[in-house]
Every structure is written in structure tokens, then in C-alpha cells.
Amino acid sequence: MNLENWTDVLRDPKKVHEVVEKEDIVVARRGRSPIRITTDERSHAAAEGYDVAARILAELAPRMAQQLPEVFAHQFPWVRFLPDAEKLQFAKEFVDMTVACASIGNTRPLRELVEDWRRTATVHADPELAKELARPLPGTTKRVPRPSVRAKKR
């Protein structure tokens, strides 16, 4: 994987064609996420590989339910801070989300799921924080009515 900048890509498009046949090119951008240039064949192969791996994981997960929390704790050390029931819940949600993401070719929801569980583990790792977040919020107990749904006018 080459790391290029836009100037180099625009200056020498022949080189880009030569390189991209062999490997992906990552184009750096100032203040923004880099862009990856790849071939359609490599992109489809990666998506197909991810889909197959996700489906295999989904098949194996129920057979390995007892080992899943330990396996996940090796990959995500923060899992050790989760209560036992939540360790298994995270593992099941991870497997389900992996399959769902593979089916649509978008892994962002999986990344968000992992980050949400990492934050949950952070709370469990700090008893004072957990206690603070579990306490009732001060203020009024007046219920706020649900807003009515209106059709948008165009």
C-alpha cells in the first residue's frame, strides 16, 4: 500500500495505473480522511472474503459459546471489565453485526458497536464513574409530552 498525496497522483497518472495493478494506493488529504484507490477485482475479493469469514464465524459462534468471552478478551482486553453476562452479549452482538455488515459491505456499524462496548467497559472499570452514572438525575419529575408528528411541507 503506497501513501501518496494528490499532487503526486495528478502529476503522474501512468504511475498510478502501474502501482494500482499491484497494490492499493492511499492518497493523503489535509485535514480529511485518506482515500484508497484499488481495483474493482481486489475490492470484490476483499468483500467476498469478509462475507465468508463472517458467515463462518456465525456458524462457529454457537458451538463455542462458552469460549467466546475468553477469545474476545484476547482481542479486546477491555472486555475483562464487563460483567460475565455482558461479555457473552458483546460477543453475540459482534458476531451478528459482523454478518450484517458483510451483507451490505459497510463495516462502520461494527466499528461503532465495538466503540460503544468499549465505553461500557470503561464505565465498569471505574466504580466511581459507574456509581455517578447510575444515580438519579436531579431536577423536575415533570413529564415532557411527546412531540406530535406532522407531515413536512415542501
Rounded Cα distance, 17 and 22, in Å: 9
58-94 per-position pLDDT tens digit: 999 999 888 888 999 999 999 999 999 999 999 999 9
* Local confidence band at 102 (pLDDT 50, 70, 90 cut-offs): very high
**pLDDT at 2 exceeding the cut of 80:** no
131-153 per-position pLDDT tens digit: 888 887 777 677 778 888 765 65
What pLDDT does residue 82 have? 95
Rounded Cα distance, 37 and 10, in Å: 13
Contacts 24+ apart (CB under 8 A), 58-61: 58/95, 58/96, 58/98, 58/99, 61/91, 61/92, 61/95
**pLDDT at 119 exceeding the cut of 90:** yes
CATH topology of domain 2-38: YefM-like fold (3.40.1620)
| pTM for the model | 0.73
**pLDDT at 114 exceeding the cut of 60:** yes
Rounded Cα distance, 96 and 87, in Å: 14
Domain residue ranges of the chain, discontinuous segments joined by + = 2-38, 41-133
With beta carbons less than 8 A apart as the criterion, state whether 4 and 25 touch: yes
Rounded Cα distance, 110 and 84, in Å: 21
